[in-house]
Every structure is written in C-alpha cells, then in structure tokens.
Amino acid sequence: MTGARVPRVGAREKVTGAARYGADHTPDGLAYAMPVVATAGKGRITRLDTEAAAAVPGVLLILSHLDDLGIGPAGYIMAEGYAFQSLQPLLDDHIAYRGQPIALVVADTLVAATQAAGLVRARYDREPFAVVPGAAGTETVLQEEAIPLPFLADIVTGDADGAFADSPVRVDEIYQSGPQHQVPMELIGGVVEWDGDSLLVHEGTQAVGALRGGLARQLGIDPERIRVVSPYVGGGFGQKNSLQPHLAPLAVAARRIGRPVKLVLPRAHTFHAASFRPVARHRVRLGADRSGRLLAAIHEVDQQASRFDLLPATYTEITSRLYDIPNFRGRQRHVKTDTQTPGYMRAPFEHSAAFAMESAVDELCYATGRDPVEFRLANDAAADPVTGKPFSSRHLAECLRRGAELFGWAERTPDPRSMTGDDGALIGWGVAAGAYPSLTVPTLARLRADSGGRIVAEVGGHEMGQGLTTALTCAIAGDLGIDPEAVTVAVGDTALAPHHLTAGAWGTNSTLRAVHAALRELRERLGTAQEGPVDLAAAVTATGREQVEAEAVTQGPGQPPEMIERMRAGLVALAGPEFPDCVSFSFIAHFAEVRIEPGTRRIRVPRVVSVADCGRVASPVTAEAQVRGAVVWGVGAALREHSEVDPRYGGFVNADLADYVIPVNADIGRIDVAFVDEPDFVLNPMGVKNLGEVALVGVAAAIANAVHHATGRRVRRLPILIEDVL
Ligand code: MOS
C-alpha cells in the first residue's frame, strides 16, 4: 500500500488541539525559566547585576557564569558533537554575538521569570564585531583547506576556466541570498524533570538521540539515564536538528531547585538561540555555444560562518550535475562573522545554489535565444558529468515536460514585458529545476503484532509534519494487506529505539528500509509467506503467543558498520551512502506565474506547478502537502523573508513574526503538484528516494525568472522587493 491515499496520521489530533507537543507537558510542581540575553555585539561581561531580579517574588534561582554550572560544552554537531554550535553560553564572561544568553532566571510562574529576566543588568567591555560577510574584520577561509574531508573538496571536471574563456556566449554574475531564519510555528523549548538520577526531557526536536547524547556529555551522566520524548514537532526545518544550549542549564536548574522546569523561548530569542540560513554569495560563470549547448560552469560560493564553527557546504554538489556540463569548477569558502553558528535550513545549500544557477541559466537562455524549457531539455545529462557514473534514476526531463504541459507553457511569449493581464498587470512565467542528493542513515525498526490483528511499529525517526508516520503506516498496511487503522507507528522517543537525527530528507527512505527488513523478520517468525496478505490475528494466534515481535537495524549502501554505533550514540552518521555503480539524486521542476500589480508593483504568485521525481511516492497525501508547503516556502524565500542584521549593534533586528515577513494565505494562489512516481531501488526495496528538501530547490529561481519575464528586470538578490521592480 506504499502509494495509497491514506489520510495523514495525527491530522485529527492536530486540528482539534489534542496533540501534545513537547512544551505542552506540565508535570506537578513545574517552575518556569526565562533567559537573559547579551545586548553587546561582542566582548566581555564586566558586571552582572542580579539583585533586583532576585528580589522579584517567586524567583527561585538565577544561573549565570558567576556560578559554576558544572557542565561543559556538548560539541558541534558536525565535529563529533551534539549541538548546533560548539559555544555553550553561561560558562564564562565572553560574549561572541548579540543575543547570546548571559543568565537564566527560574521562578514559580512565567510572569515572575519574565519580569525578573527584564531586571538583570549587565555591563560590557565591548569589542568591534562584524555581522555581515564583507564587513571589516571578517575572515575568509577555503573549505577544502579548513575542513579536509573528501566529499567537501572542490568539484573540478575538465578545464572550466579555459572552456569559459573560449565560450562564444557567457554569463558572469553574482547572486546572493540569506540570512533567513526557519521560524517554525512551534517555539524552541522543553520541559526537564529529574527522578532521582534519571532525567526526562520533553522537547520538540528532530534529534532525540543527539539531545540525549549531548546532555549526557554535558552533565557527565550515563545516556541510559536520560530519556528524551518528542512525539509531535511543530515544524523543524533544520532549526531543531541538534541540541540547543538552553537544555543543559535547564537540567542544572531543575536539579538545584528539585522541581521540573519548563522553558519556552520567546520568538525574539529564537533568532539568536538556534541556527539560521547563512548569507551565501555566488559568483556563477556559464559558457555556452551559440545554439545554447552548455560548455563550462564556474561556481564560487562564499558562505557566512560563525567565528567558532564551519558548516560544511555542498552547494556545488547539485550545480555540477543539474546539466551535462563537461567543464566545471566549484570553489566554496567560509566567511567568519560574529553571530551564532549558522546551520541547516530546508535545502540548506541547494535552495540558494539553485537560485544562483537557475537564474544564470535563464540569463543564458535569453543570451542564446532559446526557450528555457527547451534549453534545459537540450542540456539534460544522460550520465553524471562529475563521476561518469549513471544516475540511479533521473526523470528531470519528464518533470520539465509534464510541468510544461500542466502549466500551459506553450502559450508563453518569450519577450520580457510581452504578457499582460486585463487590469494592466505585468505577467511573467518562469521555470527552474532542482536536485537533491539521496542521503540515508542507519535506522532501527521494531514491530509488534498481536493476536487482535494489530501491529505497533517503534521506529528511530521523528515526525515533524513531513508525513513519516503516514508513509510507514501505508507501507506496513500495504505489505501485510491489513487496514491502516490497525497500524500504530511510534517515533521520537529514546525509550523506544535509538534515533539518528531526522533531516536531509532521509527520514522516510531510511525508516522504510528498516521497516521493510523488520516485516521480513516478522513474517519469518509468523511462519507466513514473505509476500502477500497476512491474516495477522490468525497468524499470531497460531504461534500460541499473544504477541510476536521482530526487529531490524539497517543502513544504507556503502555505510560502514560503525555508523550504527554512531546512530546509537546520537552522533551524526553521514558516511555514505555510496553506490558502487551510480550516483543518486531526486529532481524537480517548478513553473511559476507572477503578476506585478500595475499601481503598487506588488508581486503576486497566482499559480505554481511543481513536478517531482522522488522515486516511488510513499504517501501521496503527505507528499503533495510537503511539496505545497515547500512552494509556500519558496514564495517566502523569493519575495518576503530576510533576517535584517544591525551592523551597529549586532544581531538580527526583525526578530518576530510581525517583522520577519512570511507569506500569508492571501499571498498563495493555486499550487499544482505532480509526481513522476517511478520506483528507484537504490535506497530501499520500496523504491522511494527523497522529497522533503528537493521540493524547495528551484522555487525561488522560477519566481525570479518569472519576475524577469514580467518586467525585464533581473534581480540577483533574494528577497525580490517592490523597489526592485519599480
Ligand atoms: Mo533539514 S535543513 O536537513 O533538518
């Protein structure tokens, strides 16, 4: 039943408010915490005055660097650690960025904690700082040298500089995006409670295992004594894919006062408390012959970093193979700034890379007089131009053809400003493509079938709205030929299974593989055939037991066995997959229409058509929703979202949902989603590749290209604003 239209699991609970999120947990005796954050851009705390705060009735505790918290750092997630950054606040007087926590107030009530936090005063010895790449005082390092991992080396094929110089038609432009913040609806926060020496954490996260591993390291206790529960996540998007620095101090506070403590960060704090999408500045050079055949590409990227961590960048992984480009040179650098460590935000590199590459391709289409769809089809790659290996599957051409058909692309007149509406609005149609690598991680799945014909699956994975539990329900019900109602999928709890972090669009493909293996084991134990429908109640009853259990741990092709140990430890396990005979990516094509209102020049997006190649569609209902959501994200990325940096005082200033502008319902028109739906068996026996990230890749470029078609203006910096098209 992989592929059946099973309704979203948990939908009713969510819309009726019955779903309990991490911070909805309210144990008896709960106390409330509120952080105090630095107002200096960089420097040292010379004085911290907590007297007035401590005098507020109900205040129980104020933690700061003046105490010995008895904790160490958890380490950076991409450097053998667990946290979104290596810096753990509250351990010393050093301020690395504006918004860094300097104290944590705990009180009987949220009101008292908030009031007291507002009364803490700090004095600083301020130092100069730089919050934007390009400002004085930043430092630039070459990734290839700074992070010597083979998969982060510059991608070079042929002689791109020579071929570019010799190309009769050339584009050489700079494109920029970011910073942006994920801003999921569920705020960052959690509830911690001690029971003797055991710690229970309720927190919305994509990485219960990393929270457990990191807290164990920070608190110096056995991970077995920590349980992290994350049943529902109100949006992750990468913001919640690692341990955040509030949690260990919260556990210290709970232990000191002998009560459970809850912390929910105010929205404004979340802009500095967790990762964000860094600034990425792309110089893209494309060379083609006069017929529009791509000859060379040079893609150089500078990505914003913090002073203390480098986020491993893979922008050129997709730009080097989106088309059949014989000569390619990539170069990625990091620009160190005084912010928290930027990190993963949906399609973290690919969204920005595709905006740059697919804008440049559109510019080349105009320079060569070729139709943008026809140009892309003519430059499609039959094999991977980087390695020469075949693709496990590549249906980008089909995505483009089906998308063009559904969109009515044939009606487009190519000249900019050539299409207008009855009201005088300028109409533009744009197209762009996207790709995302097939990533996968080690996973454990345990199935328990009972004599009533029901089955419970406990799986190392997280449900953050992407539809993983629905996809697994479809797969289990389909495999056994039972009603989806008889299936319960439990995820997001370290007491059930070890969990790798769920991100990188690998959640569904990885858990499907483990569930498929556990199903084979279950059938073995039930003595049924390996395929075909099962009378589950009868089969369990025939064993003479109430329940039959089966478990499987699986990992991806080419992943070394120690990756399973890393998964059990809550560490990132990203070696592989390595496919001996191929490379593997998901693909997508987006078609967007923009209308520029004649009076206001407001840019509207009345319709988008997106056609994805994600292998077999595991769950159509949630997959369609995931692509629709990504298109909304793309509208936000293209036309709305920008985290404004204050170069005078540091930090992000539009740190709330009033000023960090995202699309609202009125901004979203018709979104049509279609899938190629051809199975690809490299990742799992269900033929499922990945979808969550590729869905966003190229949306912003399609909109930017449509804006150019409507207005003749080529805007090379996101977001595109009214003033860009006046
Ligand atoms: Mo996703 S940005 O890999 O959590």
* 348 CA from centroid of ligand 1 (Å): 7
Within a domain: 65: yes
What is the distance between the alpha carbons of residues 581 and 681, in angstroms, rounded to a whole number?
A: 13
Q: Given strand 668-675, what is the order of strands in its sheet?
A: 426-437, 585-596, 603-613, 668-675
Task: Please report the atom of ligand 1 found closest to the CA of residue 343.
Answer: 2
Within a domain: 564: yes
Nearest residue (by CA) to ligand 1, atom 4, is: 238
pLDDT at position 148: 86
User: Minimal CA–CA distance to 398: which of 585, 583, 589, 623?
Assistant: 589
User: Minimal CA–CA distance to 334: which of 308, 357, 298, 358?
Assistant: 308
> Hey, CA dihedral for 525, 530, 535, 536, is it positive or negative?
positive
719 lines ligand 1 (CB under 6 A): no
pLDDT at position 576: 85
504 lines ligand 1 (CB under 6 A): yes
Q: In the beta sheet, which residues pair with residue 284?
A: 173, 299
Do 650 and 601 sit in the same domain of this protein? yes
Within a domain: 135: no
Do 590 and 604 sit in the same domain of this protein? yes
Do 176 and 201 sit in the same domain of this protein? no
pLDDT at position 226: 98
Q: Could you tell me the CATH number of the domain that includes residue 64? A: 3.90.1170.50
Phi and psi (nearest 5°) for 225?
-90, 5
Do 421 and 448 sit in the same domain of this protein? no
Within a domain: 471: yes
What is the distance between the alpha carbons of residues 726 and 718, in angstroms, rounded to a whole number?
A: 16
Beta strand extents in 597-650 (DSSP E only): 603-613
Within a domain: 574: no
Task: Please report the atom of ligand 1 found closest to the CA of residue 345.
Answer: 2
346 lines ligand 1 (CB under 6 A): yes
Instruction: Identify whether the C-beta of residue 201 lies closer than 8 Å to the C-beta of residue 247.
Output: yes
84 lines ligand 1 (CB under 6 A): no
* 243 CA from centroid of ligand 1 (Å): 14
> Hey, CA dihedral for 35, 39, 45, 49, is it positive or negative?
negative
Count of structural domains within the chain? 3
What is the DSSP track for 91-126? SSSEE-STT-EEEEEEESSHHHHHHHHTT-EEEEEE
For residue 7, the tally of other CB atoms under 10 A from its CB is 13
Do 200 and 83 sit in the same domain of this protein? yes
206 lines ligand 1 (CB under 6 A): yes
Task: Please report the atom of ligand 1 found closest to the CA of residue 504.
Answer: 3
- Structural domain of 461: 441-568
Do 368 and 498 sit in the same domain of this protein? no
pLDDT at position 715: 98
76 lines ligand 1 (CB under 6 A): no
Q: What residues are annotated to the active site?
A: 693
Do 560 and 639 sit in the same domain of this protein? no
* 551 CA from centroid of ligand 1 (Å): 27
Of 240, 275, 314, 346, best ligand 1 pocket probe by most atoms within 8 Å of the beta carbon: 346
502 lines ligand 1 (CB under 6 A): no
Task: Please report the atom of ligand 1 found closest to the CA of residue 206.
Answer: 4
238 lines ligand 1 (CB under 6 A): yes
* 488 CA from centroid of ligand 1 (Å): 26
For residue 66, the tally of other CB atoms under 10 A from its CB is 12
184 lines ligand 1 (CB under 6 A): no
Last residue of a domain, one of 568, 591, 622: 568
Do 429 and 536 sit in the same domain of this protein? no
Segments of the chain scoring below 70 in pLDDT: 1-2
507 lines ligand 1 (CB under 6 A): no
Rounded to whole angstroms, what are the CA distances from 509 to 171, 204, 441, 464?
Answer: 38, 22, 9, 15
684 lines ligand 1 (CB under 6 A): no
348 lines ligand 1 (CB under 6 A): yes
With H, G, I as helix, E, B as strand and everything else as coil, classify residue 390: coil
Do 262 and 324 sit in the same domain of this protein? no
Place of tokens 């008895």: 70
For residue 541, the tally of other CB atoms under 10 A from its CB is 15
Do 427 and 483 sit in the same domain of this protein? no
Of 239, 241, 463, 691, best ligand 1 pocket probe by most atoms within 8 Å of the beta carbon: 241
* 34 CA from centroid of ligand 1 (Å): 27
* 210 CA from centroid of ligand 1 (Å): 14
pLDDT at position 575: 87
Task: Please report the atom of ligand 1 found closest to the CA of residue 348.
Answer: 2
pLDDT at position 2: 65
503 lines ligand 1 (CB under 6 A): yes
Within a domain: 84: yes
622 lines ligand 1 (CB under 6 A): no
The rounded Cα 447 to chain-centroid distance in angstroms is 28
pLDDT at position 1: 54
Of 276, 277, 341, 344, best ligand 1 pocket probe by most atoms within 8 Å of the beta carbon: 344
pLDDT in tens, 254-306: 999 999 999 999 999 999 999 999 999 999 999 999 999 999 999 999 999 99
Last residue of a domain, one of 273, 297, 327: 273
Q: Given strand 487-490, what is the order of strands in its sheet?
A: 487-490, 455-459, 443-450, 547-554
* 233 CA from centroid of ligand 1 (Å): 14
Do 623 and 533 sit in the same domain of this protein? no
Within a domain: 707: yes
Q: Could you tell me the CATH number of the domain that includes residue 411? A: 3.30.365.10
Predicted TM-score (pTM) of this structure: 0.97
Task: Please report the atom of ligand 1 found closest to the CA of residue 240.
Answer: 4
* 207 CA from centroid of ligand 1 (Å): 11
345 lines ligand 1 (CB under 6 A): yes
Task: Please report the atom of ligand 1 found closest to the CA of residue 692.
Answer: 1
Within a domain: 170: yes
**Residue 267 buriedness (CB in 10 A; 0-12 / 13-18 / 19+):** middle
* Segment (H or E) for 364: helix 350-368
547-554 vs 443-450, strand pairing mode: antiparallel
* 347 CA from centroid of ligand 1 (Å): 7
* 225 CA from centroid of ligand 1 (Å): 28
Instruction: Identify whether the C-beta of residue 573 lies closer than 8 Å to the C-beta of residue 442.
Output: yes
619 lines ligand 1 (CB under 6 A): no
Task: Please report the atom of ligand 1 found closest to the CA of residue 239.
Answer: 4
For residue 658, the tally of other CB atoms under 10 A from its CB is 8
344 lines ligand 1 (CB under 6 A): yes
Q: In the beta sheet, which residues pair with residue 585?
A: 437
* 103 CA from centroid of ligand 1 (Å): 29
* 575 CA from centroid of ligand 1 (Å): 17
Last residue of a domain, one of 546, 568, 590: 568
What is the distance between the alpha carbons of residues 297 and 88, in angstroms, rounded to a whole number?
A: 41
Task: Please report the atom of ligand 1 found closest to the CA of residue 505.
Answer: 3
Do 302 and 219 sit in the same domain of this protein? no
